[in-house]
Amino acid sequence: MLSQRSKIAVLAIIAFLGMIAWNVLPARAVHVAEEFERARNIYFNRCAGCHGTLRKGATGPDLTPAKLISKNYNIQILKAFISNGTPGGMPSWKGILSDEEIDEVAEFLQLEPPTPPEISLGDMQESWKLIIPPDQRPKKPEHTKNWQNFFGVVLRDAGKVAILEGESKELVNIVDTGFAVHILRSSASGRYFYSIGRDGKITLIDLWMKKPDKVAEVKTCSEARSVDSSKYKGKKGDFLDKLAVVGCYWPPHFVILDGQTLEPKKVVSTRSYTYDTNEYHPEPRVAAIIASHHEPEWVLNIKETGYFWIVDYSDIINLRITQIEGERFLHDGGWDASKRYIQMAANMRNKMVIVDNEEKKVVAQIETGNKPHPGRGANWIDPKYGPVTATPHLGEGKITAWGSDPKGHPQHAWKIVRNVETLGGGSLFIKTHPKAKHVWVDHALNPDNKIRQSVCTFEKDKPEEKPTCWEVSDHGRVVHMEYNMAGDEVWVAVWDQVGELVIYDDKTLKEKNRITADWLRTPTGHFNVYNTMNDIY
């Protein structure tokens, strides 16, 4: 048995050489190499999202060996953090990872992080599969279903997307997409769903086919979280359904693709300097992307450097990018109701950053609370303060709403007007709809079983009343809400090995349907076509 120290030394040599040479290493080293590879995979799949592939930190702290040594974090302390989580929002991995895996990850953290390979446009083109070319696709819908009210449901661990009919709640098809699908976005017309997996694979799904299915796919990077489509039609051209963009975590870049075929057209690196200290950052990841409805533009959150990149896609040969200084660790967010203002969370700075996309500048930074996490956020009209937008928080049980109508209600613009108490922290998403009565929030990452299985709602017209909260399920985590097209019912996911979709009447809060089936494996995000194409939230 090798001592801890010598095991680390062997691992360090392997990491340094950057090779896993199975056939030339002695048996013990092969075993250690296997452990290293296992730990590398676990880190990549479970930890890199928050701490970064190079471990320089973002939503989670810096975990480079130098930083751990400076904090005196020895192997025991690391194991305790991984096993138990932290009050700051890190989940407990005990029960999800075995004791042996926790040991291996703790050891892996003491080594310099290996750098994964770069990916060129040529590599992407090699992986590109055009399954059904546009001229062989239906000219009009081949079914009579209301496809604008379809729901695309992410089956995360199955690497699939289920398409359900909004009216009948029947399953229309299950589409094979990619490893750990993260989100779906609709094309501007709504005809297509784009799905993005954590493995950087984007899949194009045609909802007009008799049985909606994938028509193209391509791998754009080894780690991604965001995708959107081109939504502008006006004086500068008609870009509806013409282009798509993927935002990658690793390599840190974004990729512009043909919206109908997914042929990769252009890759742009985001490696650059932090907006505030002007230090070079090797891994500025692309977090949320939102497409403008008023200009041929995408807004990209460049997480680690703290910039908004406004990418003008009207001429991708001579690409123009406006770089706006925001705040470090920009993560998620969306538009205000007028779709002029970009509202994004810099969650590790406890702020929402507001950009006027007409003037192309930051107009406000609002300190809302401990780690705001809005998803796309929620917009509604408050009886006292007019149009408002709100976010829940990862670090505390609170929804914070601010005025978001500087024209009509300048006195409240970008000022906090309400705080609504929820059951606790760990909230990931908030949702409403212009025609809805209620605002909904989850608590998916709360450490308490009962709380993470509960939602809270309050009436838009009675925001001072105590929210109504209840347990949606007695298993899994309850995550993400989405309205139907009419805005009168809400779909909530129970994220579990065999999950559920629970559908409520938004007016009465009564349960209308509960869908559960073997195919409903780990449902997380679910996206209504009409609301997603129109950015209704």
Establish if 59 lies at the interface with ligand DHE (CB under 6 A). yes
Where does this chain touch ligand DHE (CB under 6 A) — which range of 255-263, 287-295, 314-322, 398-406? 287-295
Is the separation of the CB atoms in 442 and 478 below 8 Å? yes
In this chain, which of 153, 288, 337, 352 binds ligand DHE, going by CB under 6 A?
Answer: 288
Alpha helix positions (H), 320-407: none
* Neighbour order of strands in the sheet with 416-421: 378-382, 386-391, 398-403, 416-421
- For the bound state, the minimum distance from the C-beta of residue 289 to ligand DHE, rounded and expressed in Å, comes to 4
Residue 275, Cα to own-chain centre: how many angstroms? 23
In the list 190, 326, 372, 375, the residue contacting ligand DHE (rule: CB under 6 A) is 375
CB of 375 to ligand DHE, least distance (A): 4
| Minimum distance from residue 488 beta carbon to ligand DHE (Å) | 19
Indicate whether 111 belongs to the interface with ligand DHE (CB under 6 A).
Answer: no
- Partner residues linked to 163 by β-bridges: 152, 173
Q: For residues 35 and 332, which CB has a smaller minimum distance to ligand DHE in the complex?
A: 332
Please answer whether residues 370 and 361 qualify as being in contact, where contact means their C-beta atoms are separated by less than 8 angstroms.
no
Q: Which amino acid is at 282?
A: P
The whole-angstrom separation of Cα 144 and Cα 529 is: 16
**Binding-site size, ligand DHE (CB under 6 A):** 22
Shortest distance in whole angstroms from residue 42 CB to ligand DHE: 12
CA quadruple 480, 484, 490, 494: dihedral positive or negative? negative
Residues with Cβ within 8 Å of residue 37, at least 6 apart in sequence: 20
C-alpha angle with apex 52: 110 to 391, nearest 5 degrees? 130
Query: Which residues inside 497-526 make contact with ligand DHE, applying CB under 6 A?
Result: 524-525
Residue 153 in contact with ligand DHE, rule: CB under 6 A: no
Interatomic CA distance for residues 535 and 516, integer angstroms? 28
By C-alpha distance, which of 226, 217, 240 is closest to 313? 240
The pair of three-digit structure tokens given for residue 329, joined into one six-digit string: 């660790």
The single residue among 15, 388, 428, 485 that binds ligand DHE, judged by CB under 6 A, is 428
Is there binding between residue 50 and ligand DHE (CB under 6 A)? yes
Contact code string over 222-241 relative to ligand DHE, x by CB under 6 A? ---xx---------------
Give the separation between CA 183 and CA 154, rounded to whole angstroms. Answer: 7
**Which H, E and C letters describe 122-167, residue by residue?**
HHHHHHCEECCCHHHCCCCCCCCCCHHHCEEEEEHHHCEEEEECCC
Kindly state whether residue 287 participates in binding ligand DHE, applying the rule CB under 6 A: yes
Decide: is 156 part of the binding site for ligand DHE (CB under 6 A): yes
Among the listed residues 289, 420, 490, 492, the single contact to ligand DHE using CB under 6 A: 289
Of 178-197, which residues contact ligand DHE (CB under 6 A)? 182-183
CB 300, min distance to ligand DHE, A: 9
- Cβ-based nearer residue to ligand DHE, 212 or 375: 375
Whichever of 52 and 406 has its CB closer to ligand DHE, that residue is 52
348 is a contact residue toward ligand DHE (CB under 6 A): no
In the complex, the smallest distance separating the C-beta of residue 57 from ligand DHE, rounded to whole angstroms, is: 13
Q: Which residue numbers are catalytic?
A: 47, 50-51, 90, 331, 373
Residues 471-500 binding ligand DHE (CB under 6 A) are 479-480
> Rounded to an integer, what distance in angstroms lies between the CA atom of residue 52 and that of residue 154?
24
Decide: 163 and 150 in contact? Cβ < 8 Å: yes
Respond yes or no on whether the N-terminal peptide bond of residue 251 is cis (omega within 30° of 0). Answer: yes
Provide φ and ψ at 72, rounded to 5°.
60, 35
Specify the residue, 145 or 393, whose C-beta has the smaller distance to ligand DHE. Answer: 393
By C-beta, is 59 or 261 nearer to ligand DHE? Answer: 59
H or E stretch at 421: strand 416-421
Of the residues 43, 49, 177, 190, which one makes contact with ligand DHE according to CB under 6 A: 49
Q: Candidates 125-133, 140-148, 286-294, 316-324: pick the segment binding ligand DHE (CB under 6 A).
A: 286-294
Binding residues vs ligand DHE (CB under 6 A): 49-50, 59, 156, 182-183, 225-226, 287-289, 331-332, 375-376, 428-429, 444, 479-480, 524-525
